[in-house]
Amino acid sequence: MKVVMIGAGYVGLVSGACFSEFGVEVACVDKDANRIRDLIEGRIPIYEPGLEDLVRDNSKAGRLSFSTDLNAAMAGAEAVFIAVGTPSRRGDGHADLSYVYQAAREIAATLTGYTVIVTKSTVPVGTGRRVAEIIREVRPDAQFDVVSNPEFLREGSAINDFMRPDRIVIGTETERARDVMRRLYRPLYLIETPIVFTGLETSELIKYAANSFLATKITFINEIADLCEKVGADVHDVARGIGLDGRIGRKFLHPGPGFGGSCFPKDTLALVRTAQEADAPLRIIEQVVASNDARKVSMVSRVTNAVGGNVRGKTIAVLGLTFKPNTDDMRDSPSLVILPRLLEQGAKVRAFDPEGMGEARKQMPDVDYCGSAEDAMSGADCLLLLTEWNEFRALDPRRIKALLGKPVVVDLRNVYNPAEMRAAGLTYTSVGRPAGS
Ligand code: NAD
């Protein structure tokens, strides 16, 4: 079986490499010639644990190839996946579908026999039907079906998520397309992964509903954390106390500086817009978006308060810039809201992140980027822990105290034990835990 993957980004590259690991012949096509050249030469353009080996092994085995030439790649393909970006459209928050529609036009021009066209990108309800219309406009003679197959992998654990998903969602109307998808996902079917077959619209909505629900859970616990601080409760105990209830579940109940990343912010906003247009407003999700935006901004005052009310002239050491550990993805990271505000208020910001500094440099050139966590902390007036990379989880509190100029730590991921930090002589602020704990 052969498939084509359009877009060799976080989703396309991981999905393509994983399908090839299942034994499928995969041609990854991207418009970005530099990216394709890197991949052909064995360089992986993104940071994702395990991806380099998977790409190398399957390229060597001849099952995975890279090209900028869609027409040539399509020869003999039974399915073509659209895995291009769907960022927020500037101004209104709708998903920008221009890359998806462009890919559809390009696919149309290459179709020969019956082909399944799969949208793996996260796309609003109705997009699959529009993709079919575009293809029919360009090629009225083409034989094809459109399938919605949203992707649920998480950056940082993408390969495992793809290989062992909780479920696969496939939206299509024809048995013929369903059969192609079944054969493609056969290795997962064999390990009894549930496959949810639906219509196109339902499948498209499942992805947005899932992400919005998870974003709601995070926002819920963040607001509970704020309340905990006011009333002397501990948010971790609250999370455990509610999460052990099987109806609630323990995951996604960790408080922090607000959700970021390439999916939740844009997907919650796009779902809000879809719902408003459909005259079925999702008021809960509207509040989630507003609460999360406000939360990122409000994190700045935690730093200001920790250093005595004003950051002007103070040096803030920031550990972690990406929206979560184990990725180099900086899209919509809380750091992009917090750091520029600290700089605006006159702070000097020294930062270190294991993988995010390349992209961060482009977006925040006024930050002083350091070679290590210790380098960033040296002589600083405050340590701000923003992303819980493993290497920031086990710093010795006494060493932190010795390195900092002033013994002030703001931990927005609750990595450290408040009592231990205080015992080491540090003034420690975290999220949703009582002052004395
Ligand atoms: P990305 O920006 O990393 O990659 C997109 C790639 O598509 C880029 O390399 C770009 O050059 C290429 N591209 C765009 N138009 C093209 C065209 N016409 N032909 C060939 N290549 C083209 O994006 P991503 O993070 O992989 O996200 C892709 C989609 O998957 C989005 O809709 C996103 O919402 C969804 N998604 C992402 C994640 C995630 O964790 N990143 C998870 C699930 C779903």
CB 101 within 8 A of CB 63: no
- pLDDT at res. 309: 97
Question: Which band of pLDDT confidence, cut at 50, 70 and 90, is reported for residue 59?
Answer: very high
- Nearest to residue 430, comparing CAs of 408, 414, 415, 406? 414
Whether residue 99 has its Cβ less than 6 Å from ligand 1: yes
Whether residue 353 has its Cβ less than 6 Å from ligand 1: no
- pLDDT at res. 91: 82
- Give distance in angstroms: CA of 16 to centre of ligand 1: 12
Whether residue 155 has its Cβ less than 6 Å from ligand 1: yes
The strand ranges marked E within 195-299 are 195-198
- pLDDT at res. 434: 81
Class of domain 2-198: alpha beta
Residue 399 in this model has a pLDDT that exceeds 70: yes
- pLDDT at res. 378: 98
Whether residue 361 has its Cβ less than 6 Å from ligand 1: no
Output the average pLDDT for the chain.
97
Cβ count near 13 (within 10 Å): 27
* Local structure of 311: helix, strand or coil: coil
Q: Percent of the chain at pLDDT above 70?
A: 99
Quick: pLDDT tens for 144-178: 999 999 999 999 999 999 999 999 999 999 999 99
- pLDDT at res. 435: 67
Annotated ligand binding at 260? The verdict is: yes
Mean pLDDT across the stretch 371-398?
A: 98
Residue 437 in this model has a pLDDT that exceeds 80: no
Mean pLDDT across the stretch 270-286?
A: 98
The catalytic residues are: 263
Whether residue 117 has its Cβ less than 6 Å from ligand 1: no
Sequence spans of domains, the chain: 2-198, 227-429
Which residue, judged by its Cα, is nearest atom 3 of ligand 1? 9
Annotated ligand binding at 153? The verdict is: yes
Which residue, judged by its Cα, is nearest atom 6 of ligand 1? 7
- Give distance in angstroms: CA of 6 to centre of ligand 1: 9
Quick: pLDDT tens for 293-345: 999 999 999 999 999 999 999 999 999 999 999 999 999 999 999 999 999 99
Quick: pLDDT tens for 231-255: 999 999 999 999 999 999 999 999 9
- Give distance in angstroms: CA of 141 to centre of ligand 1: 29
- pLDDT at res. 436: 59
* Local structure of 64: helix, strand or coil: strand
**What are the contacts of 184-189 at 24+ separation with CB within 8 A?**
184/1, 184/3, 184/19, 184/24, 184/79, 186/22, 187/22, 187/23, 188/163
Distance CA 292, CA 400 (A): 30
Mean pLDDT across the stretch 196-220?
A: 98
CA-11 nearest atom, ligand 1? 26
CA-13 nearest atom, ligand 1? 26
Ligand 1 pocket test, candidate residues 47, 84, 153, most atoms within 8 A of CB: 84
Are 2-198 and 227-429 equal in CATH topology?
A: yes
Whether residue 29 has its Cβ less than 6 Å from ligand 1: yes
Distance CA 8, CA 421 (A): 44
Whether residue 153 has its Cβ less than 6 Å from ligand 1: yes
Distance CA 432, CA 242 (A): 15
Whole-model pTM? 0.96
- Give distance in angstroms: CA of 387 to centre of ligand 1: 24
Ligand 1 pocket test, candidate residues 4, 6, 10, most atoms within 8 A of CB: 10
Q: How large is the C-alpha radius of gyration of the chain?
A: 23
CATH code linked to domain 227-429: 3.40.50.720
- Give distance in angstroms: CA of 187 to centre of ligand 1: 24
